[in-house]
Amino acid sequence: MHRLALLLSLLTAPLLACGGAPADHGQFSALTANAGEASDLCEHEIPQDACVKCNPELVARFKAVKDWCGPHHVPESQCFACHPDLSFEPLPQPPPDADLANVSREQALAGLEGVAAPGKVTVIDFWAAWCVPCRKTAGDLNLRLQHVPELAVRKVEVRDWDDPLATRYLAGTPTLPLLVVFDAKGAEVGRISGHKPDELDALLAKAAAR
């Protein structure tokens, strides 16, 4: 590969990995994901209320927000051909008493130290509605909340890569989600980019041992 082409591919790779796409492809909107938790899966393995094969009248809404895969004639956020790891299966749920909370963008921008739960190992989860690995990671975190005592999870929703949250915290992050793990004393233990449950367990063990 030509050096310039290699450089360009390295520069654009993070965007592609995170839901950006070539010209004839679209971008993930939240239209499919938002229907996901409230709707049963249809015969196409997609949340019934969002599936364009079951609800052709929705096509225009997906196209209006550029959530459309030209080559496959379905929303980008429903295209199993382009995104084989896409899944809308129900996620494990957190226990009712889980220490799980959404963090406002103002609070997150004020600094992550203030977000970590005092006296607990805390995972701060930067996620986006259009991010496939983020959904899988949310399921991982819910499972950990069921089984790991004294674990806190704080969710920070990122709109896109121009979001001030991304500018501040995601520079150099190759792909979402970004998990930032703090120990019970409020010190950062490490970071994970992408869906990596084994690395998460290793980092949680390290945080608990400190």
**Range in contact with Zn ion (rule: CB under 5 A) among 46-54, 119-127, 153-161, 174-182:** 46-54
Minimal CA–CA distance to 85: which of 17, 133, 29, 137? 133
Nearer to Zn ion, 53 or 206 (CB): 53
Nearer to Zn ion, 42 or 202 (CB): 42
81 binds Zn ion (CB under 5 A): yes
Nearer to Zn ion, 69 or 138 (CB): 69
196 binds Zn ion (CB under 5 A): no
Q: What is the 3-state secondary structure (H, E, C) of 73-126?
A: CECHHHCCCCCCCCCCCCCCCCCCCCEEEECCHHHHHCCHHHCCCCCCEEEEEE
30 binds Zn ion (CB under 5 A): no
53 binds Zn ion (CB under 5 A): yes
Nearer to Zn ion, 68 or 169 (CB): 68
Identity at 22, one-letter amino acid code = P
Strand pairing class (178-182; 99-102): unpaired
Lookup: tokens for 33? 């994901």
The answer for residues whose C-beta is within 8 angstroms of residue 93's C-beta and 6 or more apart is 142
Strand pairing class (178-182; 188-193): antiparallel
For the bound state, the minimum distance from the C-beta of residue 58 to Zn ion, rounded and expressed in Å, comes to 10
**Range in contact with Zn ion (rule: CB under 5 A) among 52-60, 107-115, 159-167, 172-180:** 52-60
Among 33, 79, 103, 131, binds Zn ion (CB under 5 A): 79
The residues binding Zn ion (CB under 5 A) are 42, 44, 51, 53-54, 69, 72, 79, 81-82
